[in-house]
Structure 1
Amino acid sequence: MKKYQNYINGEWIDAKSGKTFTSINPANNDDIIAEFAYSDESDINEAVDAAFEKRLMWKNTPAPLRADVFYKVTAKLEERKETFKDVIVRETGKTNVEAMGEVMRAINVIRFMAGEATRLAGETLPSQQEGVIGYTKRVPHGVVGIITPWNFPLGLAASKTTPALVSGNTVVFKPASTTPLISVMYVQLLEECGLPKGVLNFITGPGKPAGDVLGKHEKVKAVSFTGSTNVGTSLGKVVTARGAKMQAEMGGKNPFVILPDADLDLAVEHIILSGFGECGQRCTATSRVILHKDIAAEVTSKLVEATSKITVGNPADSNVNMGAFIDENQVKNFEYYVEAGKKEGAELLIGGNRILSKGRDKGYFVEPTIFTNVSSDMKIAQEEIFGPLLAIIEVDSFEEALKVSNDIDYGLSSSIYTNDMNKAFNYLENVESGVSHVNMPSIYSEPHFPFGGMKCTTIGPREQGKAGVQFYSETRTLYLKP
Structure 2
Amino acid sequence: MTWRGPELLSTNPSLPDQIIARFPTLSLDQINPTVQLARDQMGTWRNVPLHVRARILFRTADLMRQRKTELAAWEILETGKPWREADADVAEALDFLEFYGREIIRVGTPRRLGTEPGEHNQRIFHPRGLAVVIAPWNFSLAIPTGLVSAALVSGNVVLFKPSERSPMMGYHLFTLFMEAGLPKGVLQFLPGGPEIGQALVKHPDVHLIAFTGSQTVGLNIIQEASHVSAGQRHIKHVIAEMGGKNAIIVDETADLDEAVTGVLASATGYQGQKCSACSRIIVLHDVYPVFLERLKQAASSILIGPPEHARNRMGPLIDRRALERVRHFVQRGKTDGTCVLDRQVEGPGYFQGPVILTNLPPSHPVVQEEIFGPVMVVLKVTTISEALALANDSPYALTGGIYSRSPANIQLARNAFDVG
Pick the aligned partner of 1:394 from 380, 390, 395.
Answer: 380
Report the Cα distance in structure 1 between the residues aligned to 2:214 and 2:25, rounded to whole angstroms.
22
2:95 is the alignment partner of 1:104:
no
Structure 2 letter corresponding to 1:279: Q
| Counterpart pick for 1:146 among 124, 127, 133 | 133
- Runs of 4+ with >6 A deviation: none
Q: Which has the higher contact order (CA 8 A, sep 6+)?
A: 1
Shift of 1:367: 2.0
Residue 237 of structure 1 pairs with residue 228 of structure 2: no
> What pairs up with 1:19-418 in 2 under 5 angstroms?
19-121=6-108, 123-126=111-114, 130-211=117-198, 213-242=199-228, 243-344=235-336, 346-351=337-342, 353=344, 355-356=345-346, 360=347, 362-418=348-404
How far off is 1:419 after superposition? 2.3
CA distance in 2, matches of 1:258, 1:244: 43
Deviation at 1:168, TM superposition (A): 0.8
* 1: CA distance, partners of 2:276 / 2:30: 34
CA distance in 2, matches of 1:298, 1:392: 12
Offset from partner CA, 1:284-321 (integer Å, 9 cap, x none): 00110011111111111111010010111111112211
Contact 1:41-1:210 at 8 Å conserved across structures: no
Deviation of residue 124 (structure 1)? 2.9
Code of the aligned partner of 2:340: L
Amino acid at match of 2:263: I
Could you tell me the TM-score, scaled by structure 1's length? 0.83
Per-residue CA distance 1:201-259 (angstroms, 9 max, x = gap): 11111112322x22221211010111111111111111123321011111110001111
Partner deviation per Cα, 1:365-394 (whole Å, 9 max, x = no partner): 112101122321111110000000000011
Quote the Cα distance in structure 2 between the aligned partners of 1:320 and 1:366: 13
SS for the counterpart of 1:283 is coil
**Structure 1 residues 155-212: Cα deviation after superposition (integer angstroms, max 9, x where no partner):** 111110111111111100001111111110111010000001111011111112322x
Q: Write the letter of the residue equivalent to 1:151.
A: N
CA contact 2:60–2:180 (8 Å) conserved in 1: yes
How far apart in 1 are the matches of 2:158 and 2:369? 33
In 2, the alpha carbon distance for the partners of 1:124 and 1:383 equals: 49
The number of residue pairs the alignment matches comes to 413
- Distance in 2 (alpha carbons) for counterparts of 1:106 and 1:50: 27
CA distance in 1, matches of 2:301, 2:112: 60
Fraction of identical pairs, as percent = 32
How big is the shift at 1:96? 1.2
Residues 212 and 240 in structure 2, CA contact (< 8 A), matched pair in contact too = yes
| Separation (CA, whole Å) in 1 of partners of 2:88 and 2:374 | 19
User: How far apart, in 2, do the equivalents of 1:291 and 1:389 lie?
Assistant: 16
Q: Take 2:168 and 2:119, find their aligned partners in 1: how far apart are those partners? A: 54
Distance 2:204 2:106 in 1: 29
Equivalent residue of 1:392, what SS? strand
Shift in alpha-carbon separation, 1:50–1:120, aligned structure 2, 3 A: farther
**Post-superposition offset of 1:352:** 5.5
CA distance in 2 between counterparts of 1:195 and 1:38 reads: 22
The one-letter code matched in structure 2 to 1:364 is: Y
Deviations 1:85-143 (A, max 9, x none): 11000000111111111111111121111111212246433377x51222221111000
For the Cα contact (< 8 Å) 2:314–2:353, is it kept in 1? no
Partners of 1:38 and 1:61 lie apart in 2 by: 30
